[in-house]
Amino acid sequence: MTNNANDWLNEHGDYLYRFALARLRDPHQAEDAVQETMLAAIKNNSFEGESSARTWLTGILKHKIIDLQRKLIREQPISDLVDLDASETSMDDFFDKSGHWLEKPQFLEMPENALQQKQFLSILNTCLDKLPAKLSAIFMMRDVHESDNENICKELNITATNAWVMLYRARMGLRKCLEIHWIAG
Amino acid sequence: MKLMLTCKQASQIISQSLDNPLSWQDRLRLKFHLFICDACTRFNQQLHLLNTVIKRIIKTTESDNTIQLNSEAKARITQAIESSSH
Ligand SMILES: [Zn+2]
């Protein structure tokens, strides 16, 4: 099994790392996720050879990533998150009392070429870091992982209402931050 | 049924529409609001752009061969593999 695992690491390690990095954003967390994937692969060797080794390993890695995100989100009581008045992304920043936009949303240009995508990614990372950690984690879980809402609720043990309030707040904060920092070149 | 939405309500429904199919009432109210409101139309575009770009960036990152496990990390993982078999 150890020999197999070394082969897997050599052949698929970089890919698994990129897969994790795209979703976790943090290089160290991504490395840890790859390591745990390898160890889990050795332990419950259920690889049948029906799918490719890469597909099988990626499946394990996906679970590891979700575990990490779940841990991030759970570190703070959910009640703190859904208290609408509590923090920097309070909705009062966006609307007046009668529900009108305080500042109208601006046009965001689509990043087209590779260079623009790189810039956009680095700005997006900055903006995600500015959000409360749990909001960025649930955003990544939903929009990046495409976990559906039902799964998110089950995994985090929160109600559907809490989930959509958190996602709404994450998106409101992100698109505002992008308005400020993203100016396509 | 109340047809008119405030922008705040419209923005909430737009966010929800990314996660779940809307009820026909909400769909109708939103359509009507977007028809008369440039600000929320733009907000709607912003959220869709965010969604599209993120998916695209993920695909790009996954296939970017220049991003690799560095040798330290590789050594550490190899070590962990070794010690797990003892
Ligand atoms: Zn509006």
B64 to chain A: which residues are within 8 Å by CB? 18
Across the A:B interface, residue pairs with CB atoms under 8 Å apart total 139
Return the pLDDT at A2: 66
For residue A1, give the amino acid letter.
M
Q: Please say if the pLDDT value at position B86 is more than 70.
A: no
Mean pLDDT, chain B, whole residue set:
92
Q: What is A3-74's CATH number, 3.40.605.10, 1.10.760.10, 1.10.1740.10, 3.30.70.100? A: 1.10.1740.10
Return the pLDDT at A138: 83
Class of domain A81-183: mainly alpha
CA distances from A100 to A96, B8, B15, B33 (A): 5, 6, 17, 12
**Residue range(s) occupied by CATH 1.10.10.10 in chain A:** 81-183
Which residue of A lies nearest to B50 if distances are taken between CA atoms? A175
Query: What is Dmax (Cα atoms) for chain A?
Result: 66
- Reference A101, options A91, A112, A109, A86; nearest CA is A91
Return the pLDDT at A78: 53
Return the pLDDT at A145: 61
User: Counting beta carbons within 10 angstroms of the beta carbon of residue A4, is it exposed (0 to 12), middle (13 to 18) or buried (19 or more)?
Assistant: middle
**Residues in chain A where the model's pLDDT stays below 50:** 81-89
Return the pLDDT at A87: 45
Do A135 and A54 form a contact (C-beta atoms < 8 A)?
Answer: no
- DSSP designation for A176: H
- Reference A17, options A2, A6, A7, A28; nearest CA is A28
Return the pLDDT at A67: 86
Return the pLDDT at A90: 55
CB–CB of B50 and A171 under 8 A?
A: yes
Which ranges of chain A would DSSP assign to H, the alpha helix? Answer: 2-24, 27-43, 53-74, 78-82, 114-130, 133-139, 149-156, 160-181
Return the pLDDT at B3: 84
Query: What is Dmax (Cα atoms) for chain B?
Result: 69
Å between A76 CA and nearest CA of chain B: 23
Return the pLDDT at A120: 92
Return the pLDDT at A4: 83
Return the pLDDT at A146: 62
B57-84: average pLDDT:
92
SS3 B83: helix
**Residue range(s) occupied by CATH 1.10.1740.10 in chain A:** 3-74
B27-54: average pLDDT:
95
Return the pLDDT at A163: 83
For every residue of B10-78, which 3-state class applies, written as one string? HHHHHHHHCCCCCCHHHHHHHHHHHHHCHHHHHHHHHHHHHHHHHHHHHHHHHCCCCCCCCHHHHHHHH
Q: Which two tokens stand for residue A16?
A: 């698994």
Judged by average pLDDT, the poorest of A63-72, A121-130, B23-32, B60-69 is A63-72
Return the pLDDT at A84: 42
This model of the complex carries an ipTM of 0.86
Return the pLDDT at A72: 75
Q: Please say if the pLDDT value at position B76 is more than 50.
A: yes
Q: Which two tokens stand for residue A141?
A: 């879980």
CB–CB of B52 and A31 under 8 A?
A: no
**Contact B51/A at CB under 8 A:** yes
Q: What pTM did the predictor assign?
A: 0.82
B34-42: average pLDDT:
97
Å between A75 CA and nearest CA of chain B: 24
Distance B17 CA to ligand 1 centre (A): 15
Do A100 and B6 form a contact (C-beta atoms < 8 A)?
Answer: yes
Chain-centroid distance of CA A77 in Å reads 19
C-alpha atoms less than 13 angstroms from C-alpha of A51 in its C-beta half-sphere? 9
Return the pLDDT at A30: 95
Å between A60 CA and nearest CA of chain B: 16
Mean pLDDT: which of A59-68, B31-40, B46-55 is highest?
A: B31-40
Interface of B with A in 57-86 (CB under 8 A): 57-58, 60-65, 67-69, 73-74, 76-78, 80-82, 84-85
Do B46 and A124 form a contact (C-beta atoms < 8 A)?
Answer: no
- DSSP designation for A111: P
